[in-house]
Copies of this chain bind each other. A is one copy, B any other.
Amino acid sequence: MIAIEVLEKYGALKKSFDKSEIIFEEGNLPTHYYQIISGEIKMSNYNDDGREFIQGIFYKDQSFGEPPLFLNQNYPANAIAVENSEVLLLPKNKFMKLLEENPKVSIKIIENLAQRLYYKSVMAAEMSTQEPEHRVLKLIDHGIAYFNFKKEENGYLINFTRQQIGDLTGLRVETVIRTIKSLEKKGVLKIINRKVYR
């Protein structure tokens, strides 16, 4: 998103997070801008009885957690490293200075937020009104464009577990497993030794 040199110029520091390590927690006030150098970070909520909902998964060069930073509101979700990851942290006041002095960066931020809002709009409509097959397929097709699914000989490899797909679509693992099976039977995707291709 923002060039690393620019971030470092304003005083950003690199920090490493082990797999499963928490980066920030729901309910806390934001203090930094976060941008991923390497690894994979998820933002998610846990409801009253421990069920997870994944707000989004972020990769190299992507930022996360800005909305509450701009609004001075508490984080609505947790950020957790899915893999060992390196993240650049820039304190809020320095980040705001960076923005003021680099109007082009503001445009980049706008485009990024717009992109995420677009994804949320599409998924919200799906999740509220559509049946499981529709939901899962929409997530997968969206993922091809926005998550880092890689094209292989059998199609795009959907490198999400069934559980992750469930947590992203609001479905249960068993339902996802059955849904994917049914989608395969209909020929819209392939399962090759348990991996899903589209």
A residues neighboring B (CB under 8 Å): 45, 47-48, 51-53, 55, 66-68, 70-71, 73, 76-77, 99-100, 103, 106-107, 109-111, 113-118, 120-125, 127-130, 169-170
Contact = CB atoms under 8 A, between A and B. Distances in A.
A18 B140 CA distance: 39
Contact of A114 (B66, B124, B128): B66
Given A113-B114, A118-B71, A127 B128 contact: yes
Could you tell me the dominant secondary structure of chain A's interface residues?
A: helix
Given A103-B106, A106-B110, A124-B53, A47 B130 contact: yes
Task: Quickly give the copy total for this chain.
Answer: 2
A120 B124 contact: yes
Nearest to A129: B47
B117 A120 contact: yes
